[in-house]
Amino acid sequence: MRKFIPMSECKDGYLYLIVAHHAHVGICRENGRVFMTNRDKFGRRYLFDEYHHDSSSILGTVQPLREIEKAPQFETEETTLRYLSDKGKETQDEMESIIQELIDR
């Protein structure tokens, strides 16, 4: 069984591979409580916060799988969105493999 990283071990400003409703990469914020993700809805792309599973039994949708890297500081929302989109594409194959592993259990 795959282990998820508890909220207490997540580091602010780092990019993580995550299992979540709307993304599979996110930047940790607020002491691991929140992950900033890239969301597409009705053709609009925007930054979206999802909460760590440990932070709320109702709103907690993120389960971090592994730390990827320290995320750079961004000057604009557009550069943040581009970074998250690029990293999402880079980790697509790994995430598909993890999803298949979870389905096969």
Structure tokens at 38: 């890239």
Per-residue model confidence as pLDDT tens digits over 37-92: 999 888 889 999 999 999 987 888 899 999 999 999 999 999 999 999 999 999 99
Query: Does residue 100 have a pLDDT over 60?
Result: yes
Look at the chain and report how many structural domains it folds into: 1
What confidence score (pLDDT) does residue 1 get? 53
Residue 72 lies in a domain: yes
> By the 8 A CB rule, do 49 and 37 touch?
yes
Residue 66 lies in a domain: yes
pTM: 0.91
Residue 2 lies in a domain: no
pLDDT band of residue 2 (cuts 50, 70, 90) is: low
Q: Who has greater pLDDT, 99 or 73?
A: 73
Q: Who has greater pLDDT, 58 or 94?
A: 94
Task: Specify the pairing of strand 14-19 against strand 60-70.
Answer: antiparallel
Residue 26 lies in a domain: yes
Query: Does residue 5 have a pLDDT over 90?
Result: yes
- Per-position DSSP letters for 12-74, written without gaps between them: TTEEEEEE-SS-SEEEEEGGGTEEEEEEEETTEEEEEEEEEGGG-TTTEEEEEEEEEEEPPP-
Q: At 8, which amino acid appears?
A: S
Owning domain of residue 94: 7-104
Beta-bridged to residue 16, according to DSSP, are: 26, 67
Residue 1 lies in a domain: no
Instruction: Report the C-alpha gap between 92 and 31 in whole angstroms.
Output: 26
